Amino acid sequence: DHGTVIYGKKSKILQNLHDVTQRIRFNTHSGFICIDPDDIFYCEADGNYCFIYLPKQRRECVTLKIGHVQRLLPGRSFMRAGRSIVININTLLRYDKKKKTIELEKDGESLILEAPSGFKKDYESFMRQKSELHVDSLELTSEIQSYR
C-alpha cells in the first residue's frame, strides 16, 4: 500500500542520512577525508599532526593535534592512552602487562601496539566513567518517563 512505500522510502532516506552523518571530516594536507569512527583502530600524535590507523593497514595523516581529533570522536568509544594515543575501545582485544602491549582487533584484522605507561589505570578509569554515564542516562530516562 501507498503508506508502506512512503514509510520504506523515509526509512531508507534516514538510514542514508545516518550513514553520511556518522562520518567525521578530517582535514589533510591535500584536502579532507571523511571517516566513520567505527573504522578507526587508533589515532597517534605526531607533533601538530595525527595519524589515524584504519583497516587494511591504511594510515591517514590529518592536520590536527591529537586532542582536537579526540574531541571530534564519540567519547563513549574512544579512550586517551597516555599522551600520544587515542584508542577505539571497541577494538581492544588484549592488554599484556608482561609484554607491555595492547592488541586491537576488528573484523579478523589485528594490530599490536606498545602499551603506554599507566594504560591499565587509564582503562579502568575510562570504564568507570563510562559506566557512571550509563547509569546517569538510565536515571534521566526513568525520570523523563515518570513525568509522562
The predicted structure's pLDDT at residue 39: 96
- Tell the burial category of 130 from Cβ atoms under 10 Å away from its Cβ (0-12, 13-18, 19+): middle
Q: What does pTM read for this prediction?
A: 0.74
Span between the terminal Cα atoms of the chain, in Å: 34
Of 82, 99, 100, which is closest to residue 43 (Cα–Cα)? 82
Cα-only R_g, the chain: 19
How many angstroms separate the CA atoms of 17 and 25, rounded? 15
With a cut of 70, say whether residue 51 has pLDDT above it. Answer: yes
Residue with cell 590507523: 53
Tell me what pLDDT residue 18 has.
Answer: 46
